[in-house]
C-alpha cells in the first residue's frame, strides 16, 4: 500500500485508494471526509516521530447521496463520528486500540432516520465506533469543490460541534521527498484522496478533550458505496 509519491501530480494520479471492490451497483452511496491529529500522508521520519505522541483523535463523516438503511431512506442526510483512542490511530504496532466515540446525527432527520443513521455509522465504523459515549444532533453539511474529490477541497460542518476543511496536496507539502500514504482511511471507501487539513476541530463534550488541529497532511476526501442492510 505504501508507494512512494514523488510529485504533486503523482499524488493526484497515484495516491487514489480503492478499499472496496465488486460492490453491487445498488446500495447506499455518498461522500466521505476524514481528518486526524497525525499526518496520514508523510514520510517515515515524521510518522515515527508522531507515533504515540499525537494522532489519537479524528473526525470523520458520511454524506449520503442516495440509498436506504434498514428500509429507511437516508438520501440527503449525514452523520459524523468523532473518536479519541488510547494509541495513535492506525498504528500497526498497536492492533488493539480502545476508543471512545461521539456520534453527531443530522438534525434534519426524523426519528426513524436518526436511528438508521446511527446504525449505519456503527456498521461503517466497526470497532472504532463500538463504544459510543454520546449522541448529539446538529445540522450537518459536507461540500466538495466541484463535487470532485480529486480537487481535495472540501468542508464539513456539524453545527458548532465539529469541523473539517481541506485543500489539495501541493508540491510544497513534500517536505522530505519520500512522502506516501502512511495510514489508510479509518473507514472503508470506494475511492479516497489524501488531503491537506486546514481545520480539524471538535468542540463538543463526551471525550474528555476538545481540539483545533490545523495545517497538517492529515485528511482524506473520498466516496463510499455499500449494500443496503
| C-alpha cell, 158 | 456539524
Residues in the chain predicted with pLDDT less than 50, given as ranges, are: 1-25
What integer pLDDT is reported at residue 221 of this predicted model?
A: 98
Strands 191-202 and 211-213, sheet pairing: antiparallel
Residue 202's Cα: distance from chain center in Å?
13
Q: How far apart are CA 203 and CA 153, in angstroms?
A: 22
What does the alpha-carbon distance between residue 39 and residue 179 come to, in Å, rounded to a whole number?
10
What pLDDT is recorded for position 184?
Answer: 97
- pLDDT of amino acid 178: 86
pLDDT value for 12: 37
The verdict on pTM exceeding 0.85 is: yes
DSSP 16: -
Residue listed under C-alpha cell 455499500: 226
How many Å apart are CA 113 and CA 72, to the nearest integer? 6
**If we measure between CA atoms, which residue out of 105, 52, 111 comes closest to residue 82?**
105
Q: What is the pLDDT of residues 112-132, one digit of tens each?
A: 999 999 999 999 999 999 999
Q: Which of helix, strand or coil describes residue 168? A: coil
Amino acid at each position: 500500500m505504501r508507494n512512494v509519491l514523488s510529485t504533486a501530480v503523482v499524488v493526484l494520479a497515484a495516491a487514489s485508494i480503492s478499499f472496496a471492490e465488486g460492490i453491487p451497483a445498488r446500495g447506499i452511496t455518498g461522500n466521505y471526509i476524514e481528518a486526524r491529529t497525525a499526518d496520514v500522508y508523510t514520510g517515515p521520519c515524521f510518522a515515527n516521530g508522531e507515533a504515540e505522541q499525537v494522532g489519537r483523535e479524528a473526525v470523520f463523516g458520511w454524506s449520503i447521496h442516495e440509498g436506504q438503511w434498514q428500509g429507511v431512506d437516508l438520501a440527503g442526510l449525514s452523520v459524523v463520528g468523532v473518536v479519541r483512542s488510547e494509541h495513535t490511530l492506525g498504528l500497526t504496532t498497536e492492533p488493539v486500540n480502545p476508543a471512545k466515540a461521539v456520534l453527531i446525527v443530522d438534525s434534519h432527520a426524523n426519528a426513524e432516520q436518526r436511528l438508521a443513521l446511527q446504525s449505519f455509522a456503527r456498521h461503517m465504523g466497526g470497532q472504532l465506533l463500538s463504544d459510543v459515549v454520546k449522541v448529539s444532533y446538529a445540522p450537518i453539511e459536507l461540500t466538495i469543490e466541484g463535487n470532485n474529490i480529486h480537487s481535495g477541497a472540501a468542508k464539513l460542518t456539524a453545527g458548532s460541534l465539529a469541523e473539517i476543511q481541506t485543500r489539495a496536496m501541493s508540491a510544497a507539502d513534500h517536505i522530505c521527498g519520500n512522502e506516501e500514504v502512511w495510514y489508510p482511511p479509518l473507514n472503508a471507501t470506494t475511492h479516497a484522496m489524501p488531503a491537506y487539513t486546514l481545520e480539524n476541530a471538535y468542540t463538543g463534550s463526551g471525550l474528555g478533550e476538545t481540539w483545533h488541529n490545523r495545517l497538517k497532511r492529515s485528511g482524506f476526501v473520498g466516496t463510499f458505496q455499500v449494500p443496503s442492510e
